[in-house]
Structure 1
């Protein structure tokens, strides 16, 4: 939702969105080195989460209440929001890497078991989300 708001109100101008949000909270114009363009890019790619501050600033800057409207609709329907698939995949890749590293690099069985469990849980979340989406669309 947040990425869509940025794309709609700042088409092809992701750096402008990053600057506007940073300046909103700074309360002044900022120099380029004061704006975290890389962090904002990671948020747009899904490897970093948008914050509540980002959402508040975007709503104020754009005048769009779309995000709040969707959240309210989800609450009204008692649905839990689904994490973006890209974020789930990134988490699963990270956990899988840690599990493999532990299996290869340590003799501590508790560490290996913990890391493998974390990876298993991350992959389970991907499967559960896909199954929930299938169920919501009536595709079994």
Structure 2
């Protein structure tokens, strides 16, 4: 998450630098006036706060991003946010739920192997059990990889 924050900070800084080259105070004023809906006096604009945001000691707010997008017409930041969200992995199922499903499928496979002469049923139930155990293994491997223990 820290890398994503740093990347987003860089994107916002880049948008400011591209559309307000060498004029950081102009960007601060434009953003403040965007939300105020009127022209502001110098004492009404938080130039120091914006400077701290540019240096990274404060984070840009959603309001800053919305104002910059509206003022500049650039959708780059929101496009990158969407790409980041699309790349996020789906949450993992709890291991207990996976284990319960595997136990159920294994029991069905054993029952089919003992209690039926239908080879198709035995093969299907064994395949379901195998798939349930594979999900446990794949999740454990994914967790190992995410923690850098692969």
TM over 0.5: yes
TM value normalised by structure 2: 0.53
Tell me how many residue pairs correspond in the alignment. 140
Distance 1:76 1:92, change over 3 A: same
Question: Do the aligned partners of residues 30 and 118 (structure 1) sit closer, same or farther apart at CA in structure 2, a change above 3 Å counting?
Answer: farther
Give 1 or 2 for the bigger CA radius of gyration: 2
Q: Which runs of 4+ in 1 moved over 4 A?
A: 79-140
Asked if 1:79 is matched to 2:89, the reply is yes
Q: 1:73 to 1:40 in 2, by over 3 A?
A: same
Call closer, same or farther: CA 1:73–1:19 in 2, change over 3 Å. same
> Residues 60-89 of structure 1, C-alpha deviation per residue, up to 9 Å, x if partnerless?
000000000001111111179999999999
TM-score normalised by L of structure 1? 0.57
For 1:108 and 1:32, locate their aligned partners in 2 and report how far apart those are by CA, in whole Å. Answer: 84
Offset, 1:20: 0.1
Contact 1:46 1:86 in 2 (8 A): no
RMSD: 16.1
Tell me which moved more, 9-18 or 75-84: 75-84
